[in-house]
Amino acid sequence: MASEPVNVNEFQELARLALPKMYYDFYSGGAEDQHTLKENVEAFRRITFRPRVLLDVSRIDLSTTVLGYKISAPIIIAPTAMHKLANPDGEVATARAAASCNTIMVLSFSSSCTIEEVAASCNAIRFYQLYVYKQRHIAATLVQRAERNGFKALVLTADTPRLGRREADIKNKMIAPQLKNLEGLFSTKVSSDTGSILEAFANQTMDASLSWKDVEWLKSITNLPILIKGVLTREDAIKAVEVGVAGIIVSNHGARQLDYSPATISVLEEVVHAVKGRVPILMDGGVRRGTDVFKAMALGAQAVLIGRPVIYGLAAKGEYGVKRVFEMLKDEFELTMALSGCPSVKHITRNHVRTERERLH
């Protein structure tokens, strides 16, 4: 392959060549049979377009807003763990790329740079993703630190009471996370001589009793808007609106949690219909092309998040690689808009796509 990739998928191979097998497997893998991992991508492929012609598309405006923050395109950086395993600059490199692309970065709770390091590195718009450990004071401390350091929203990941079974990590005896933000707060040492040490660590720490009423607790300790990540059903979408979240992220955690969960793009519309515009809906999982971004927008998402493509860009080419990944998706999205007759994101409608179910009827 030429050294300059021409699309986001080509970054994956470069990342594979650049990374030790244990880390590549950790980043790329999904749960169990990896059915959902494939489906997240395949389900996008089953959606086709209903492009409109002879509309003035000489200027295309890709910009949008999320929670009032203007971004250059509806593409946001998803929270993913431990960027220093991909590149020595870790999340600082990712944040700098986000700043130069004028988009939002969601910093993972499991980051390998601290909240303070990322905040000091650049002026990217930052949201903070939260896991809640059995020791609730840890979440409270991190929320305060995120607030103090100018993070604009919290993303509560709701789909991880325990870690999904990732068989490559079990085989590789994947290491415990190096959670920089927890230094001095919590010991990340775990006892497990077999299987994934990461999984053993997560299962010892995560508060599996976390429930909807705890969103109230979270609201009581912060003034930041709270997005809930990991919603896949209309029931939970309605629940999320009832407890007063500021937004919903339709996500199956990049197919790393419950295998045979639906592809996220296939349930986006169910959530959109249930929510009826009361809060914004974002989605992630399997976005690899600008056409995927367009399809998600047409089905009602306000923006998409990208997980693995960012890591692959980071592993292959550091900050520049993350920037290229974003630009590639953005350029493809812009072309898709032009070829579909949409001069701005507001012009993208449900009528611009046809789902498989619609094709069969």
Task: Indicate which residues carry an active-site annotation.
Answer: 253
Residue whose C-beta lies closest to ligand FNR = 307
Burial class (CB in 10 A: 0-12, 13-18, 19+), 277: exposed
| Single-letter amino acid, residue 256 | R
Residue among 103 and 342 whose Cβ is closer to ligand FNR? 103
Q: Which of 11, 24, 27, 294 binds ligand FNR (CB under 6 A)?
A: 27
94 lines the binding site for ligand FNR (CB under 6 A): no
182 binds ligand FNR (CB under 6 A): no
Question: Of the ranges 13-21, 179-187, 200-208, 253-261, which one interacts with ligand FNR (CB under 6 A)?
Answer: 253-261
The alpha carbons of the chain give a radius of gyration, in whole angstroms, of 19
Coil vs helix vs strand at 72? coil
Give the interface segment with ligand FNR, choosing from 51-59, 92-100, 204-212, 246-254 (CB under 6 A): 246-254
User: Looking at 112, 114, 157, 196, which residue binds ligand FNR (CB under 6 A)?
Assistant: 157
Beta carbon of residue 53, minimum distance to ligand FNR (angstroms, whole number): 31
Distance CA 328, CA 306 (A): 12
Question: Any bridge partners for residue 157, and if so which?
Answer: 229
Residues 286-305, mask of contacts with ligand FNR (x by CB under 6 A): xx------------------
Return d(Cα 238, Cα 68) in angstroms, integer.
22
Candidate segments 54-62, 74-82, 146-154, 178-186, binder of ligand FNR by CB under 6 A? 74-82
Q: Does 251 bind ligand FNR (CB under 6 A)?
A: yes
The torsion region of residue 255 among left (phi > 0), alpha (psi -120 to 50) and beta comes to left
Segment near ligand FNR (CB under 6 A); pick from 14-22, 76-84, 206-214, 328-336: 76-84
62 versus 304: smaller Cβ distance to ligand FNR: 304
Sort strands 353-354 and 48-49 into parallel, antiparallel or unpaired: antiparallel
Q: Residue 249: name the closest of 127, 360, 157 by CA.
A: 157
* Using rule CB under 6 A, residue 355 touches ligand FNR: no
Cα separation of 235 and 239, whole Å?
6
| Total number of residues that touch ligand FNR (CB under 6 A) | 25
Separation of first and last alpha carbons in the chain: 41
The DSSP letter of residue 127 is E
Tokens standing for 49? 């377009």
Which has the closest alpha carbon to 269: 349, 326, 195? Answer: 349
**CA 268 to centroid of chain Cα atoms:** 15
Binders in 37-56 for ligand FNR, by CB under 6 A = 40
Among the listed ranges 44-52, 56-64, 251-259, 316-324, the one in contact with ligand FNR (CB under 6 A) is: 251-259
By beta-carbon proximity to ligand FNR, the closer residue of 42 and 61 is 42
Residue 330: exposure state from Cβ atoms within 10 A (0-12, 13-18, ≥19): buried
Residue 267 token pair = 């349930």
Q: Is 114 in the site for ligand FNR (CB under 6 A)?
A: no
Structure tokens at 106: 């969601």
Question: What is the nearest approach in angstroms of ligand FNR to the Cβ of residue 159?
Answer: 8
Binding mask 305-334 for ligand FNR (x = CB under 6 A): -xxx--x-----------------------
Contact between 129 and ligand FNR per CB under 6 A? yes
The SS3 assignment for 124 reads coil
Which residues of the shown chain bind ligand FNR in the complex (CB under 6 A)? Answer: 26-27, 40, 78-81, 108-110, 129, 157, 229, 251, 253-254, 256, 284-287, 306-308, 311
